[in-house]
Amino acid sequence: MSAVYFLLTHGGIASIMLQEITQFISQHPILSIAWIALFIMLITSIFKSFFSNIKEITRAEAIRLINKENAAVVDIRAPEDYRRGHILGAINLATKEIKNNNLQQLKQHKMRPIIVVCATGTTAISLAKNLNKAGFESVLVLKEGISGWSGENLPLVRGK
């Protein structure tokens, strides 16, 4: 009981933890900076995804949108990757076309949901933002891209 009384009256547990943290930082500055940088990047990533207009969707949600809401699928992979296997009805659009706002192929789909697909789902996010800025209202990204789609043995069209 006297130990608890001592901690509560002489700075408390928070004070002791702060001293230990300060000591760790002074003994390991590079590691501490790395952890702080990672923490900041994590928080930034969480805030960006929370406030982003772009939503990642599951394969089941993509299938529902394609079948029920006539969603357009935009495959941004290289043409040779597209020919090796793509989602039925997908439009192959080069990343530079989206970046340069050359979106003639997509104008007719402006009011429909647009599902952007890449190999793994990471490249598609930045290009989906470009489409959103260009006036496409419902732009979504397929989580894990084509690799996730084919990993679940969902159908792919080869050629064309």
Nearest to 130 by CA among 157, 93, 160: 93
Give the predicted TM-score (pTM) of the model.
0.71
Q: What is the DSSP string of 86-144?
A: B-TTPEE--HHHHHTT--GGGGGGTTS-EEEE-SSSSHHHHHHHHHHHTT-S-EEEETT
CATH code: domain 55-151 is 3.40.250.10
- Encode pLDDT of 76-131 as tens digits: 999 999 999 999 999 999 999 999 988 999 999 989 999 999 999 889 998 999 99
- Percent of the chain surpassing pLDDT 70: 91
Place 17 in a pLDDT band, splitting at 50, 70 and 90: confident
CA distance 86 to 93: 12
CA distance 9 to 1: 12
- Encode pLDDT of 64-91 as tens digits: 999 999 999 999 999 999 999 999 999 9
Q: At what angle do helices 12-27 and 2-9 cross, to 10 degrees?
A: 70
pLDDT over 60 (residue 59) = yes
- How much is the pLDDT for 52? 72
